[in-house]
Structure 1
Amino acid sequence: MSSVVVTRGLVKQYGRVRAVDGIDLDVRTGDVYGFLGANGSGKTTTVRMLLGLVLPTRGEVELLGERMPRAGRRVLPRVGALIEGPAHHRHLSGAANLALLDAAGPGGSRRTRRRRVAEVLDQVGLGGVGRRKVGAYSLGMRQRLGLAGALLRRPELLVLDEPTNGLDPQGISEVRELLLDLHRGGTTVFLSSHLLAEVEQLCSRVGVLDRGRLVLQDEMAHLTAPTGATVVDTPAPERVRAVLDGRVLSADGGRVVVRGADPAEVNALLVGAGVPVRGLALQRPTLEEVVLAAAGTSADRVERA
């Protein structure tokens, strides 16, 4: 599988502060890649270097197989981006803002501009208010408009930095479904976020940034794969311990973790011994547990929701 985002030894230094410290990203065609880290960990600086908005101190960046920023004129028309909240002309309508954005960028067809603006406004849920002045938009509506701007060229790669900022729970759910729909249509998504729940529900691969360093990069399915243990929900944890002596790994109230990756076998042993069982499941680490293990104590700034 080809890679659409590659960095090699990427460093960005501001005076004595190393905001990004030698990271090697690998985002592959078809990924929904979650770039996860606490606020201030270097995510936005990295995204800006990917798009050629900030020059690296050292290292290399490739987008869609070409070196950045040297190939920016060829590559950027194939990339949609939303970084640090969009900037809009408040006295113009949402549709007019998008038309200006399209006219300013390379490769936009004037003949199809009005149709494409209407389509992306509908996509992000602003079809009914596209003629309203942006000054009257809520923060969430402005965020949606920024996302619409990123979608104007039907990008092969969509780079988003905290795209659900300012959105209510319904808006977050709608953006999530939109991104999944775009992904099903062939768009590779690079999503920078500090929200664990957002990344966990959306992403197929994850990179974790901690104080400028990439401390983890792997498939979500691998990171949250079964551990080889079974979780037993029971009102009689002491009886589970008696029946499965030597196999109990931990017990917390009625939640008992036992060695063995076959819940049916564990259930048969317990029920056969008369132990009441309310439920069984394979033990899987949560993304939160994975991030905490990789990033250490600073991961408490990465939010669950």
Structure 2
Amino acid sequence: MIKTHGLTKRYGRTLAVDGVDLDVRPGDRYGFLGPNGSGKTTMVRMLLGLVYATSGEIEVLGEPVPRRVHRVLPRIGALVEGPAAYPHLSGRRNLKLLDAAGPGGPRRTRKSRVEDALAAVGLSGVDSRPVRAYSLGMRQRLGLASALLRKPELLILDEPTNGLDPRGIHEIRDLLIQLNEAGTTVFLSSHLLAEVEQLCTRVGVVDKGKLVLQDELTAVRTPTGRVLVDSPDPAAAVALLDGRLEHRDGSRLVVRHDDPAALNAQLVGGGVRVAGITEQRRTLEEVVLEVTTSSADRIDGASRPGAAP
């Protein structure tokens, strides 16, 4: 769906994107991660032909970009750097104008396409108020609706849940999973690691313009060598664990062990009831912190000449 080779972008002396080989496959829910200033948004804009690469190659939906971007844009839904809209018009009017501006489909079905898109993002009951009166969350939902108008094969989204409350984030996550299961590939740039961990099947991590990690999420989140146990008999479990206990919080135990099934058999065989048992894995946050450096927007006081220690 998306392939890049040696993709590089310079702004004067600043190397924003440094030789990135991106691989987004059909059916992926791909999370694109990295600190602020790592080149994520520049990458997204190059994929859509909004910014030209300094060097390297881009292929989206089998077509070279930007040379043939006109062939692929009608098949893509995109939300980049916040939703764009005419602030004096209503959300419905904005979507109708957007649909009319491209090959969205017959005019006679435009109203139904707009209503379907609004319903998908939770705005079916929106009134005729102008977009300038919308909350940030409503604007973000409208931007997502615009990305869904043409039933895209590929969704390219830059921080799609920005401004949404926890329930709104949950709703958009469910929507993206449903769209993906129906055949839409999702490419999602975000800094919300917990959200990406729940939504995405593959991840790519950039740091200072370089792609430092790209793999299946399950492969990235490797086992820690510990097992999480929930037992109604925590004291009996501790006595049986022979020094392997690392932490206890009421009935929940963290145990040094690399085989949950064997540990479960040991506990049950010793007469200990087990309500739940699972292998502990590294969090996505731990992985990203390991492969990236500090954010580009951080300015330490010690780096300034004459700064106080």
Same fold (TM over 0.5): yes
- Paired with 1:134 and 1:256, the residues of 2 have a C-alpha distance of 50
Q: Relative to structure 1, is the Cα distance of residues 235 and 61 closer, same or farther in structure 2, using a 3 angstrom cutoff?
A: farther
Residue 51 of structure 2 aligns with which residue?
A: 54
Instruction: Map Cα deviations across residues 71-108 of structure 1 (whole Å, 9 max, x no partner).
Output: 11111100000000012111111111111112222454
Q: Relative to structure 1, is the Cα distance of residues 99 and 238 closer, same or farther in structure 2, using a 3 angstrom cutoff?
A: closer
Residue 258 of structure 2 aligns with which residue?
A: 260
Residue 190 of structure 2 aligns with which residue?
A: 193
Shift of 1:253: 5.3
Instruction: Map Cα deviations across residues 97-142 of structure 1 (whole Å, 9 max, x no partner).
Output: 1111122224543232222111111111111115332122111111
Residue 246 of structure 2 aligns with which residue?
A: 251
- Paired with 2:261 and 2:99, the residues of 1 have a C-alpha distance of 58
Q: Point out where structure 2 has 5 or more consecutive residues left out of the alignment.
A: 299-309
SS of equivalent to 2:292? helix
Shift of 1:267: 4.0
Assess if the C-alpha contact under 8 Å between 1:11 and 1:58 holds in 2: yes
Assess if the C-alpha contact under 8 Å between 1:237 and 1:251 holds in 2: no
TM-score, normalised relative to structure 2? 0.85
Instruction: Map Cα deviations across residues 199-238 of structure 1 (whole Å, 9 max, x no partner).
Output: 0110011111112111111111222254555345655898
Shift of 1:163: 0.4
- Paired with 2:236 and 2:284, the residues of 1 have a C-alpha distance of 29
Question: What root-mean-square deviation, in Å, do the aligned CA atoms of Structure 1 and Structure 2 show?
Answer: 2.6
Assess if the C-alpha contact under 8 Å between 1:61 and 1:68 holds in 2: yes
| Count of aligned residue pairs for this structure pair | 291
Residue 221 of structure 2 aligns with which residue?
A: 224
Q: Relative to structure 1, is the Cα distance of residues 274 and 177 closer, same or farther in structure 2, using a 3 angstrom cutoff?
A: closer
Shift of 1:145: 0.6
Residue 134 of structure 2 aligns with which residue?
A: 137
Assess if the C-alpha contact under 8 Å between 2:104 and 2:149 holds in 1: no
SS of equivalent to 1:11? strand
Instruction: Map Cα deviations across residues 135-155 of structure 1 (whole Å, 9 max, x no partner).
Output: 221111111111111111100
Q: Relative to structure 1, is the Cα distance of residues 59 and 277 closer, same or farther in structure 2, using a 3 angstrom cutoff?
A: same
TM-score, normalised relative to structure 1? 0.86
Identity %: 64
Shift of 1:181: 1.2
Assess if the C-alpha contact under 8 Å between 1:237 and 1:253 holds in 2: no
Shift of 1:269: 3.8
Shift of 1:256: 4.3
Select the residue among 164, 178, 186 that pairs with 1:167: 164
- Paired with 2:294 and 2:268, the residues of 1 have a C-alpha distance of 41
Select the residue among 85, 103, 120 that pairs with 1:123: 120
